């Protein structure tokens, strides 16, 4: 479904400011929505909202259905009577610039434990009934997630295939006996999910009231060490021990000379088709309970995917294999109706990928940092843009625009972009924002780092780098009125603010 002409800002909630070491979905997120509305933005793009996996990556989440409880707001828990002022009076001395995940995660969990103890001792009015209703609505995945999360904690975070065999293989007697001995731990995990979903729904209602849609992000694959693979092994290409026979990745491209070896287990598309793609329908339905539109990460994998032999050291030895194609999307449309989707069509795009995208009427993406090679003109150069497209100055996988211009761009790219934009490059971030917003593309999205003019040290992720990513945080000056008003002026000038 096409977007109306609009603009958005890309920022994950973990990046928001606040005293608890990590951005959350409480008051700071509500204030950010107000900032976006005044800036003329009509979309807030976020990264996956699921529990982060190794390296704190939201793209290696331990569940595709559960929410990240690191995003739960302590302040909202206090307003409900689940925490007291004394619980929050002296938070640790967290960095305001970077998320210190090894310190933040146990701190937030300790607060949730305290909230759960208070709930168990004397639940505030109405919460118990809402929790029971939540359990009923999410029964299809919630119990499996609670078991998985509790088992991970009991096993010192060992991967599920390292658990005792009878638990790893989900033998009913052993799993039932373990669950019977750990009812409190399971109830705690369910409580944490209830809290996340309630807080998110309040935030989403505020976004609706301000006229802002939320653009979510759905990775095509799920993590090997996830509740979904543990609980649904028949949907993936695994051996008898539950280990992948081949894994996902992408071939060498402009992100990496050896490709990207993601390591995710590949789907058994024949088994999924035989089930009517029921698991994918449930997954997409769950996404649209959280967001208004979905960016399909690695869209090309639906047409054909890069299969890498298990145990390979890089992705360079892989091969292309046909994906489910239109059959999957027809099943999704039949079950869910028309939904707003964006095809992340970066990288190697063959004719079959383009045909699938266009037959579905999905907008693709253009990234301006890839647009300005003077020879062999890029498909992202602005004069090639089309309406049914989302244009970005950069994405979470790119350097910031300033970092790109000062470090990554070749001399030829620098010369060409300056000639194309008629600039001396002193405010290259605003020059790129201007060309994105002036594009014919229906939707233009700008990372907040570019609005603030930040350098390479503030990028969100470096592909193929395992550590040090996902840590960026805003500070108060990056939410200043002058930046907001300058962005708002450009949104209005190029007809993207709706007013």
Tell me the Ramachandran region of residue 237: left when phi exceeds 0, alpha when psi lies from -120 to 50, beta otherwise: beta
CA-nearest of 291, 297, 289, 285 to 218 is 297
Strand bridging mode 443-447 / 389-392: parallel
d(CA 222, CA 219): 7
From the candidates 185, 228, 297, 413, give the one annotated as an active-site residue. Answer: 297
From the candidates 198, 307, 397, 415, give the one annotated as an active-site residue. Answer: 397
CA-nearest of 17, 15, 133, 26 to 78 is 26
From the candidates 144, 344, 345, 450, give the one annotated as an active-site residue. Answer: 344
**87 counts as catalytic:** no
CA-nearest of 55, 68, 59, 63 to 14 is 68
CA-nearest of 353, 446, 331 to 391 is 446
**297 counts as catalytic:** yes
Catalytic residues: 297, 344, 397
């Amino acid at each position: 479904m096409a977007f109306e002409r609009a603009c958005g800002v890309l920022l994950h909630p973990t990046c928001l400011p606040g005293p608890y070491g990590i951005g959350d979905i409480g008051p700071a997120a509500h204030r950010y929505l107000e900032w976006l509305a005044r800036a003329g933005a009509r979309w807030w793009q976020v990264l996956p909202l699921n529990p982060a996996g190794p390296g704190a990556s939201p793209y290696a989440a331990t569940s595709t259905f559960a929410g990240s409880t690191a995003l739960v707001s302590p302040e909202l828990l206090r307003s409900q009577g689940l925490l007291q002022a004394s619980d929050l009076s002296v938070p640790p001395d967290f960095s305001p610039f970077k998320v210190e995940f090894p310190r933040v995660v146990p701190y937030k969990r300790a607060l949730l434990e305290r909230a759960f103890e208070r709930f168990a001792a004397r639940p505030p009015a109405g919460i118990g009934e809402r929790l029971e209703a939540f359990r009923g609505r999410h029964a299809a995945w919630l119990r499996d997630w609670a078991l998985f999360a509790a088992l991970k904690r009991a096993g010192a975070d060992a991967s599920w295939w390292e658990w005792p065999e009878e638990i790893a293989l989900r033998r009913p007697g052993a799993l039932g006996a373990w669950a019977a001995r750990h009812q409190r731990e399971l109830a705690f995990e369910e409580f944490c999910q209830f809290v996340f979903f309630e807080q998110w729904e309040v935030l989403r209602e505020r976004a609706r009231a301000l006229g802002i849609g939320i653009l979510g992000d759905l990775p095509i694959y799920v993590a090997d060490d996830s509740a979904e693979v543990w609980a649904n092994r028949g949907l993936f290409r695994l051996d008898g021990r539950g280990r992948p026979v081949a894994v996902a990745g992408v071939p060498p491209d402009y992100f990496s000379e050896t490709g990207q070896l993601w390591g995710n287990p590949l789907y058994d598309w024949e088994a999924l088709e035989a089930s009517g793609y029921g698991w994918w329908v449930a997954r997409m339905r769950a996404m649209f309970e959280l967001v208004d539109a979905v960016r399909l990460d690695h869209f090309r994998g639906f047409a054909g995917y890069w299969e890498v032999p298990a145990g390979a050291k890089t992705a360079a030895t892989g091969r292309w294999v046909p994906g489910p194609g239109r059959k999957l999307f027809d099943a999704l449309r039949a079950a869910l109706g028309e939904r707003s989707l964006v095809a992340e069509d970066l990288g190697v795009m063959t004719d079959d990928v383009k045909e699938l995208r266009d037959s579905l009427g999905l907008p693709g993406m253009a990234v301006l940092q890839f647009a300005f090679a003077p020879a062999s003109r890029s498909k992202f150069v602005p004069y090639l843009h089309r309406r049914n497209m989302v244009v970005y100055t950069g994405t979470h996988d790119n350097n910031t625009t300033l970092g790109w211009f000062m470090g990554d761009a070749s001399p030829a790219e620098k010369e060409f972009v300056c000639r194309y934009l008629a600039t001396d490059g002193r405010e290259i971030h605003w020059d790129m924002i201007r060309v994105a917003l002036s594009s014919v593309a229906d939707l233009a999205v700008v990372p907040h780092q570019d609005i603030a003019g930040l350098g390479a040290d503030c990028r969100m992720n470096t592909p193929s780098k395992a550590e040090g990513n996902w840590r960026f945080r805003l500070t108060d000056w990056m939410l200043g009125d002058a930046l907001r008003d300058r962005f708002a002026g450009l949104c209005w000038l190029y007809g993207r603010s709706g007013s």
